[in-house]
Amino acid sequence: MSKNYHIAVLAGDGIGPEVMREAIKVMNAVGQKHDFTVTYEECFVGGAAIDHCGTPLPEETINACDKAQAILFGSVGGPKWDHLPHSQRPEAGALLPLRKRYGLFCNLRPARIFPGLNALSPLRADISAQGFDAMVVRELTGGIYFGTPKGREGEGDNERAFDTEVYTRAEIERIARVAFKVAMGRKKKVTSIDKSNVLASSVLWREVVMMVAEDFPEVTLEHLYIDNATMQLIKNPAQFDVVLCSNMFGDILSDECAMITGSMGLLASASLASGSFGLYEPAGGSAPDIAGQGIANPIAQILSMALMLRHSFGEIEAAEDVEKAVARALKDQIVTADLARAMPDAHIVNTVQMGDAIVE
Ligand code: ATP
Ligand code: MG
């Protein structure tokens, strides 16, 4: 009997629904090949949910996510809802509560220059041609964004402002374990980012990462200070495999890594909890400038779905098949308009045709 997985599908706003249809199409196709089925519960989220239900994360959506094995998320937000107060906006009102509710402590952001697409990178051609295929593993629920005390004090509450970076041994250990496990399925190298020459939290970070490394003797571990890491990424990006970071350093480096590839429509992400549950979404936003035109690149959504196959369902071969199919379509020079400038002779297709090419 074939396996069945049940997921919540939160397509959201802008190009979200357009690229989501393609991801589901590819998921059904790869399921057929690998003998599993997927059932979907589609729910409103973000601006679409504000319009239909008056809130960015309605009760029915939360209930559907509670019942699901994973969440496939599109993108939320757009100019229509920008006038709302910050906490009621699609972004802050939907994604942050989901991260919190499901304890999504680990953010995986693969960033890769696909073969043949190095002209998209803003780096010098001789550097981008050496390749870049990194995975940022970012701690997502701790560190300076959440540490207490935090606030302002002094005369009229205005003299001083402060944030506190707090990491516990347990928090560092669980994110480090994810990084080493991911590295075992890749090039077996972890670069841990810290600022242990000045921060006490970084000293503990380094200690715990070195301790976890003892359980993974095949993996090479390197440490870089954050300032040096930002520089090395520009100078010699090919040296990186898995990049292990705290919440704030990962926030900075994942954007830098995305920019090195130069292709927002290709980048996936996963936010994982301690079990197999995860939320999977493209790294880019709702792209209101091209929404409704049927030209958005569905690859980021499709690769996010592949991360779900790998990390929530353990369907490693199916995930690899999807990743290979994407690489193959690009190698055959089938591209959406956003990638056209990298390939002067490419065959430019729309969103649906790109999905079809990957299924094929
Ligand atoms: P945020 O990341 O805060 O949502 P944003 O909404 O400004 O920021 P995006 O929605 O990611 O950013 O859009 C940035 C640019 O990248 C836009 O010009 C958009 O058209 C383009 N873009 C993003 N995703 C895709 C995609 N899947 N296909 C084609 N172009 C895309
Ligand atoms: Mg956006």
- 348 band by pLDDT with thresholds 50, 70 and 90: very high
Quick one: pLDDT at residue 59?
97
Which of 24-28, 89-93, 185-189, 226-230 is least confident?
A: 89-93
Residue 56 half-sphere exposure toward CB, CA atoms < 13 A: 24
The residue to mutate among 80, 259, 264, 336, having the most atoms of ligand 1 within 8 angstroms of its beta carbon, is 264
Residue 86 half-sphere exposure toward CB, CA atoms < 13 A: 1
Reduced to 3 states (helix: H, G, I; strand: E, B; else coil), residue 44 is coil
- The active-site residue, picked from 35, 157, 227, 332, is 227
What 3 state SS string does 138-174 have?
A: EECCCHHHCCCCCEEECHHHCCEEECCCCCCHHHHHH
Nearest to 276 by CA among 7, 3, 1: 7
pLDDT at 341 over 90: no
User: Are the C-beta atoms of residues 358 and 326 closer than 8 Å to each other?
Assistant: yes
- 34 band by pLDDT with thresholds 50, 70 and 90: very high
Q: Write phi, then psi, for 350 (nearest 5 degrees).
A: -90, 180
**pLDDT per residue as tens digits for the range 212-227:** 999 999 999 999 999 9
Find how far residue 223's CA is from the centre of its chain. 23
**CA 61 to CA 10: how far, in whole Å?**
8
Establish whether 89 is an annotated binding residue.
yes
pLDDT at 192 over 70: yes
Quick one: pLDDT at residue 135?
98
Quick one: pLDDT at residue 344?
85
Tokens 């690009």 correspond to 330
**Does the active-site annotation cover 133?**
no
Bridge partners (DSSP) listed for residue 36: 3
Distant-in-sequence, close-in-space partners of 324: CB < 8 Å, separation ≥ 6? none
Quick one: pLDDT at residue 262?
87
Strands 268-272 and 106-112: antiparallel
Question: What is the percent of the chain where pLDDT is above 70?
Answer: 100
Nearest to 209 by CA among 196, 220, 221: 221
DSSP string, 287-304: -TTTTTTT----HHHHHH
Nearest to 93 by CA among 12, 196, 2: 12
Quick one: pLDDT at residue 115?
86
- 256-291 in b/e form (b: 16+ CB < 10 A) is bbbbbbbbbbbbbbbbbbeeebbbbbbbbbbbbebb
Sign of the CA dihedral with 72 first, then 131, 295, and 285 last: positive
Ligand 1, atom 27: closest residue by C-alpha: 265
The reply to whether ligand 1 has any atom less than 6 angstroms from the CB of 264 is yes
pLDDT at 1 over 80: no
Write the ipTM.
0.94
User: Two tokens at 303?
Assistant: 């690769």
**Does the active-site annotation cover 255?**
yes
pTM check: above 0.90: yes
pLDDT at 253 over 80: yes
Quick one: pLDDT at residue 206?
98
DSSP code for 241: S
pLDDT at 275 over 80: yes
Establish whether 78 is an annotated binding residue.
yes
Establish whether 293 is an annotated binding residue.
yes
**Does the active-site annotation cover 345?**
no
pLDDT at 147 over 80: yes
Nearest to 260 by CA among 304, 220, 230: 230
**Does the active-site annotation cover 356?**
no
Mean pLDDT of the chain: 96
The reply to whether ligand 1 has any atom less than 6 angstroms from the CB of 300 is yes
User: Are the C-beta atoms of residues 350 and 336 closer than 8 Å to each other?
Assistant: yes
**CA 136 to CA 245: how far, in whole Å?**
7
- The active-site residue, picked from 102, 194, 195, 338, is 195
Distant-in-sequence, close-in-space partners of 115: CB < 8 Å, separation ≥ 6? 131, 327, 330, 331
Q: Mean pLDDT, to the nearest integer, of 201-222? A: 98
**pLDDT per residue as tens digits for the range 298-334:** 999 999 999 999 999 999 999 999 999 999 999 999 9
**pLDDT per residue as tens digits for the range 165-191:** 999 999 999 999 999 999 999 999 999
